[in-house]
Amino acid sequence: SERMETEGKEVLRALSEAGYEAYFVGGCVRDKALGRPLKDIDIATSALPDEVMRLFPRHAPTGLAHGTVTVIREQHTFEVTTFRKESEYEQFRRPKEVEFISDLNEDLRRRDFTINAMALDAHGTRYDPFGGSADLEAGVVRCVGNPLERFHEDALRMLRAIRFACEYGFSLQEATWEALLRHAPLLAHVAMERVGAELDKMIEGRSPDRAVKLLAESGLTRHFKQPVVWPLAEWDLVPELCAAVKLTGVTGPELRWTALFVLLEMSSGQAREAMKRLKFSGKKSAAIVRLLQMDEWMRQHLDKIRMEDEQAGFETWAGACVMFGKPVALLWLELASWQTESLDGRNWRQLLELGPGWIERIPADRVTELAVNGTELAVELDKPAGPWLGALLQELLVETAKLRIRNERDILIQEAKNRVKRETM
Ligand code: ATP
Ligand code: MG
């Protein structure tokens, strides 16, 4: 936003008034040149972290070991990093130690790609020692310096190369692509968490289909520290599958990954394990697993019922909505309409038409939405509370969702009494 740029420039000015050099660097310079909205602004400076902290009392020491201080302004925060050089790389991973330096050019030289190695000062003057602007114009991802060396230093850069190419619709410079093919096995040294974060950005990004294609073509997916696909070879099939059914046909982080797992014919259990290896958050992984479980359940059940019998169709759907929840059911409808091409049978097509309306007709999908609660039931039935209550409420919920009984207190209590009586008879 404009506000973010204004506050960022204030930081640059404060630093230069104190006698230091300071620039916008990296992704924000690239995105600004492309006319894209900026996500955040990173600043590089000749000031040492201590000096940055002294100059900006409102700060957070977020990465002092790497020379990074987060400067807090009114509406935005800025990562201010001291010019540095990454001297020794440890085993194809990140540098072991950093060395602070006073030269902007040296700082830009350690960066991965020419399009990410530009700087902008407070007056809007661009510093571009490696031809990043020209590569942006031409639409090329090119390593700064020798690609074989750069991928050898940090193998994650190979995944980043593919990510930037896909995000911006760029090609990969020939030497960069060749180095990537040659060094693909080095990816085995990179932490799965970093791999997961890059894959996530690719799948959620602008060209997930091309990303999958390039991942398969490059062979990178065969060299993860831990395999994430069963069988691994199936990555090779995905480009063909994606050509028919485009991942861009679904949006949102959960649906994209779910769709990819469906294409890979991975079960919910396999997907769960893959996401665990990729260190996805528990919340995200759980949401995706839930969707896949619903997909599996629907495939098992929908094929069996005859949708000509509307009531039977509706009851199956209502059962699923209770089991997985309405929000998941809504997402699943999107997933199902994305895969209609590959699914045959009228059941599916009919459900896609009727499903959304049916969801609205379902009066409750959680026991908390019932017109009676457990405490009241225990009193009415004159029985001490216990595990039986949860089970009974669940039964009432299913009956209600299937529209067999109405969601009214007296009706629910009567139904509960009938059920308990039937059981004890
Ligand atoms: P995004 O839009 O994805 O945030 P970005 O360019 O800002 O893209 P970041 O991962 O936020 O990417 O990194 C900020 C900058 O740090 C990059 O533009 C690049 O100059 C540098 N950088 C990041 N990771 C690496 C790496 N592995 N090797 C070399 N330079 C890197
Ligand atoms: Mg960034």
Under 8 Å between Cβ of 221 and 235: yes
Cis amide bond preceding 231, omega within 30: yes
Q: Where on the phi/psi map is residue 314: left (φ > 0), alpha (ψ -120 to 50), or beta?
A: alpha
More confident residue, 244 or 219: 219
Q: Which ligand is nearest to the CA of 30?
A: 1
Residue nearest to atom 12 of ligand 1 (CA): 27
pLDDT tens track for 233-288: 566 667 776 666 688 989 988 999 999 998 888 899 999 999 999 999 999 999 99
59 CB within 6 A, ligand 1? no
* pLDDT score at 163: 98
Q: Could you give the CA distance from residue 409 to residue 425 in angstroms, rounded to a whole number?
A: 24
**Arithmetic mean of pLDDT over the chain:** 92
157 CB within 6 A, ligand 1? yes
Under 8 Å between Cβ of 104 and 66: no
pTM, full prediction: 0.90
pLDDT tens track for 113-170: 999 999 999 999 999 999 999 999 999 999 999 999 999 999 999 999 999 999 999 9
Q: Which two tokens stand for residue 286?
A: 């759980």
ipTM, 2 dp: 0.98
Q: Which ligand is nearest to the CA of 81?
A: 1
Q: Which whole number is the average pLDDT over 354-370?
A: 95
142 CB within 6 A, ligand 1? no
- What are the domain boundaries of the chain? 1-144, 225-362, 367-424
198 CB within 6 A, ligand 1? no
Question: 42 alpha carbon to ligand 2 midpoint, in Å?
Answer: 7
* pLDDT score at 183: 98
116 CB within 6 A, ligand 1? yes
Q: Residue type at 234?
A: E
For residue 92, pLDDT over 70 is answered with: no
150 CB within 6 A, ligand 1? no
Under 8 Å between Cβ of 8 and 43: yes
For the chain, what is the radius of gyration of the CA atoms? Answer: 28
Provide the 10 A C-beta neighbour count for residue 288.
25
Residue nearest to atom 16 of ligand 1 (CA): 26
Which residues lie across from 23 on neighbouring strands?
A: 44
Minimum-distance ligand 1 atom for the alpha carbon of 154 = 27
pLDDT tens track for 308-344: 788 888 999 999 999 999 999 999 999 998 886 655 5
For residue 346, pLDDT over 70 is answered with: no
Under 8 Å between Cβ of 352 and 333: yes
pLDDT tens track for 175-197: 999 999 999 999 999 999 999 99
Ligand 1: which of 116, 128, 142 to mutate, judged by most atoms within 8 Å of the beta carbon?
116
Minimum-distance ligand 1 atom for the alpha carbon of 94 = 27
Residue nearest to atom 17 of ligand 1 (CA): 26
319 CB within 6 A, ligand 1? no
Question: 28 alpha carbon to ligand 2 midpoint, in Å?
Answer: 7
Q: Classify domain 1-144 at the CATH topology level.
A: Beta Polymerase; domain 2 (3.30.460)
Residue nearest to atom 5 of ligand 1 (CA): 27
* pLDDT score at 98: 79
Q: Which whole number is the average pLDDT over 43-47?
A: 97
Question: 44 alpha carbon to ligand 1 midpoint, in Å?
Answer: 13
* pLDDT score at 341: 62
Under 8 Å between Cβ of 220 and 159: yes
- CA nearest to 393, candidates 409, 417, 414, 377: 377
- State the Cα torsion 333-336-337-339 to the nearest 10°: 160
Size of the chain in residues: 425
* pLDDT score at 423: 82
Residue nearest to atom 8 of ligand 1 (CA): 27
Which residues lie across from 77 on neighbouring strands?
A: 72
Q: Which of 37-41, 114-118, 216-220 has the lowest mean pLDDT?
A: 216-220
156 CB within 6 A, ligand 1? yes
Q: Which ligand is nearest to the CA of 167?
A: 1
Q: Give the rounded percent of residues in the chain with a pLDDT score beyond 70.
A: 92
Under 8 Å between Cβ of 93 and 63: no
Ligand 1: which of 111, 118, 152 to mutate, judged by most atoms within 8 Å of the beta carbon?
111
Task: Please enumerate in sequence order all residues whose Cβ is within 8 A of that of 353, keeping only pairs 6 or more positions apart, or say none.
Answer: none
154 CB within 6 A, ligand 1? yes
Minimum-distance ligand 1 atom for the alpha carbon of 30 = 6
Question: 160 alpha carbon to ligand 1 midpoint, in Å?
Answer: 9
Residue nearest to atom 26 of ligand 1 (CA): 112
Q: Could you give the CA distance from residue 339 to residue 341 in angstroms, rounded to a whole number?
A: 5
Under 8 Å between Cβ of 107 and 74: no
Question: What DSSP string runs through 32-74?
Answer: HHTTPPPS--EEEESS-HHHHHHH-SSEEEEEGGGTEEEEE-S
- CA nearest to 107, candidates 192, 46, 62, 33: 46
Q: Which whole number is the average pLDDT over 365-390?
A: 94
pLDDT tens track for 53-84: 999 999 999 999 889 999 999 999 999 999 99
